[in-house]
Amino acid sequence: MNPSWLEPASKFVDSQFPAAIGTLGKLVKIPGIAWPSFDPENLERSASAVAEEFRKLDFFDFVDIRRSLKPSGEKGSPAVLARRAGSDGAPHVLLYAHHDVQPPGENGLWNTEPFEATLVGERLYGRGASDDKAGIITHLQSIKTLIELAETVNLGVTVFIEGEEEAGSESFPAFLADNEADLAADLIVVADSSNWTEDTPALTTSLRGAVSQTFTLHTLDHAVHSGMYGGPLPDAATAMIQLLATLNDAHGNVAVSGLVSDATEGPVMDEKEFADAAGLLPGVQRIGDKPITQQIWGEPAITIIGMDMPAVDVSSNTAQPSIRARVSLRLAPSQDPQSGLDALKSHLEKHAPFGSRIEFGRHELGPGYLAKNGWAAGLAHEAFSAAWPNKSVNIGIGGSIPFISQFAKVFPEAEILVTGVEEPDSRAHSPNESQHLPTLKRAILAQSLILLNGNDLKK
């Protein structure tokens, strides 16, 4: 990194930051939710507002709102795509974020109005304030810094602001295919992740893969009286509970054969930090016997995320003939999701108790991700370390972001930086989501330094 950019970039970012917060506040007010039960007109408003901010820069060759088809044939949500061609020999950067947000959930759980940006101390509260409208602001402001400080802009820049990330990015593969030429880049910056702490920035270098499988366990051809037949009767609820218990061993480690582990790097988390972050009740112990970050980032994990059986308030003395469940399996970043699904299904069939029958339903697959360690990662670590009080670290994420692996598949030569404006208390997807404003300012400065230094490079 050229250190001479640090002082002028810091001064310009500081001078523009109040206006940046104002723009973020305006975007937070638009409840653009890509789920079918919400008004799609708000997504149109959201895309239009974002597009207008990038048009104001008078920088791009075009700023469009585009759509692609979902696998069902339905039109996807509106995405903003802007591109400026670079000089011959200069690298091209693609900046990704998303303008759609999660539903607010129960309003009574919010301390502020979810779609009114509310400043409390150093935090701006509101749905999407962090995930991911602060990512949009990071891209917008870092481009402004590049325009202001670079004597000549050589760097090619594309901005892609998706409109349905929170709803599963169904049209994302088609969007990549439809717009491949306009999205092509040497470096892809995905501003949709988190930092290790408020004072320690991070690059996300690994993501676990994901598998979910819905299945039904059958033991009877009809329901019967639990008293008249109870005792020798292998009712479906009892069989399902026994089956699900086989997925983990006595220590809580995943007990499914055929799953792999990947060694991880980065900071460690102690038991108390994990308990506080996850909200463990006093006396409740975590499961598994490996280091916590290794277990979250590099090991498989199984969670029972749904089960259909009579609710307690409407239950009767009836033995159930069948029970349906949905299992979520997280995979080490390097494992092929199909092999993980095969291993899970084999385990369920092999361990079904009492000769019970397993009927498989819908499943979902999401690949993991391992980052390249290229020129941009080194530059980013320098830039992040200059912008934050502490040096930057590499982290993994236990969840999966399937579209990142799709970027890697379509643009295999591109380096991908997964950055973010969140930190442990941002509460993305939860009530009282907020953006820590010092973190946002540091993210803008760091990305500005990446663009300014990239502007001086030749491929």
Contact status, residue 50 vs residue 161, Cβ threshold 8 Å: yes
Residues 6+ apart with CB under 8 A from 212: 305, 326, 327, 328, 329, 363, 364
Which residue bears the tokens 């949905």? 326
SS3 191: strand
Main-chain phi, psi angles of 190, to 5 degrees: -105, 105
How big is the CA angle at 147 (ends 85 and 458), to the nearest 5 degrees? Answer: 50
CA 366 to chain centre: 12
| Assigned token pair, 285 | 């112990």
Q: What is the CA radius of gyration of the chain?
A: 24
Query: CA-CA distance, 255 to 246, in Å (whole number)?
Result: 7
Amino acid at 51: A
Contact status, residue 284 vs residue 272, Cβ threshold 8 Å: no
Q: Provide the pLDDT for residue 258.
A: 97
Q: Provide the pLDDT for residue 458.
A: 84
Contact status, residue 173 vs residue 292, Cβ threshold 8 Å: no
Query: CA-CA distance, 35 to 270, in Å (whole number)?
Result: 37
Query: CA-CA distance, 341 to 335, in Å (whole number)?
Result: 11
- From residue 159, give the alpha-carbon distance in Å to each of 265, 319, 367: 31, 57, 24
- From residue 36, give the alpha-carbon distance in Å to each of 74, 203, 296, 403: 12, 33, 32, 20
Contact status, residue 326 vs residue 214, Cβ threshold 8 Å: yes
Q: Which residues does residue 328 pair with via DSSP β-bridges, in sequence order? A: 212, 303
**What CATH code would you report for 209-262+298-366?**
3.30.70.360
Query: Which of 417, 358, 399 lies closest to 166 in space, CA to CA?
Result: 399
Q: Report domain extents, the chain.
A: 3-207+369-455, 209-262+298-366
- pLDDT tens digits in sequence order for the chain, 459 residues long: 999 999 999 999 999 999 999 999 999 999 999 999 999 999 999 999 999 999 999 999 999 999 999 999 999 999 999 999 999 999 999 999 999 999 999 999 999 999 999 999 999 999 999 999 999 999 999 999 999 999 999 999 999 999 999 998 999 999 999 999 999 999 999 999 999 999 999 999 999 999 999 999 999 999 999 999 999 999 999 999 999 999 999 999 999 999 999 999 889 999 999 998 888 999 999 999 999 999 999 999 999 999 999 999 999 999 999 999 999 999 999 999 999 999 999 999 999 999 999 999 999 998 999 998 889 999 999 999 999 999 999 999 998 788 898 999 999 999 999 999 999 899 999 999 999 999 999 999 999 999 999 999 987
Could you say which architecture CATH assigns to the domain 3-207+369-455?
3-Layer(aba) Sandwich (3.40)
Residues 6+ apart with CB under 8 A from 313: none
